[in-house]
A and B are shown apart, each in its own frame.
Chain A
Amino acid sequence: MEHPEIIARLKQGDRKAFAEIVEQCQHMVYNTALGIVQHEEDAEDITQNVFVTLYEKISSFREESALSTWLYRITVRKALDHEKRKQREKHGGLLKRIFSVRESDEPAHFDHPGVMLDKKEQAAILLRAIKKLPEKQRVAFTLHKMEGLSYQQIADIMENSQFATESLLVRAKNNLRNILKEYYEQQFK
């Protein structure tokens, strides 16, 4: 995908080059968005939005990083913005708060379509726990587990050092252990 020739054509507004990039990167973008928002329609909406942004902003892409890194960055930012907007809509508005039934803050149940059948139940519990992590830990863990990216790739996307990314992932795992432990202890009672 990292062909400078395709990027050059895209910068000139070539729709065929755009189609090639959409074809090659669509699942990468969709899977990343899905990992963060954990909602299929929202992930589809974000994916479309990412490619529209790619087409409109390609002239500002300075090619200092790989195109995939740039696309991951746009996807992560749009997915997080989408979540914040949804959160505002959910809690926002005095009238809404007065007249609507208070929704639970507990994340909704989500089945990732790529998870093996025998691990579906545990994966759903893990995905709910991931939603409770701080934002940066959540992004790093999702990119590592869902997209299988290396520490260095995650560091490039998050504009961190590799050391900072490693420590982010260690903290994410420790927090997940605590959340899951609490969850299973409650189930045991």
Chain B
Amino acid sequence: MHQEKIDQWVEETIGSLDGARRAEAKPFLLTRVLARMQAEQAGAENIWTKAGAFLSRPAVAMAGLLLIVLLNAAIIISNVNDNRNNTVQQVSSAKDEFAINVISIYDTENLEP
């Protein structure tokens, strides 16, 4: 009994779209389509829109990010090396400037005429 009822509902449901009217688009569609075309044309002419679209591509964005990370790493590594050389240079120039080579007061006295 239940099965017969269900079969009947199924067939009625499958036929429920028979005789349905066509849904209609809202009025003034042409105006909206023309406005959209103008907006798209204006957008296509704008170089910044094109640049933005290009940069926002996942592949381009990831490549840019990777490049920034690599540049940062290279700068940090070269700075560390420079700092090591600078420290040695600074120590030797300070030695020259303040005559730290002179190690005793007797040597200084001997230098005088």
Contacts and interface: CB of A to CB of B under 8 A. Distances in A.
Chain A bound to chain B = yes
Interface in B12-64: 12-14, 16-26, 29-30, 32-33, 36-37, 40
A122 B9 CA distance: 9
Contacts of A29: 25
A27 B26 CA distance: 9
A128 to B, nearest CB: 10
Contacts of B29: 22, 26, 30, 47-48, 51
Nearest to A122: B16
Contact of A145 (B17, B23, B24): B17
Interface string A42-78: 0110011101100100000000000000000000000
A47 B10 contact: no
Given A22-B29, A52-B36, A146-B17, A27 B9 contact: no
Interface stretch (A87-95, A108-116, A131-139, A158-166): A108-116
Contacts, number: 98
B30 A19 contact: yes
A8 interface: no
Nearest to B17: A145
B74 to A, nearest CB: 30
B71 to A, nearest CB: 27
A115 B20 contact: yes
A177 B25 contact: no
A126 B18 CA distance: 12
Contact of B37 (A26, A44, A52, A127): A52
B6 interface: yes
A173 interface: yes
A19 B16 CA distance: 35
B2 interface: yes
A112 B20 contact: yes
Given A116-B20, A173-B14, A23 B26 contact: no
Given A48-B33, A51-B33, A30 B10 contact: no
A27 B37 contact: no
B37 A123 contact: no
23 contacts: A22-B30, A26-B29, A26-B30, A27-B25, A28-B22, A30-B23, A44-B25, A47-B29, A48-B32, A48-B36, A52-B40, A113-B21, A114-B20, A114-B23, A116-B19, A116-B20, A125-B16, A126-B17, A146-B20, A177-B10, A177-B14, A184-B10, A185-B6
Interface of B: 2, 6-7, 9-10, 12-14, 16-26, 29-30, 32-33, 36-37, 40
Task: Give 5 closest A-B pairs by Cβ, nearest first.
Answer: A114-B21, A30-B25, A122-B16, A123-B16, A119-B16
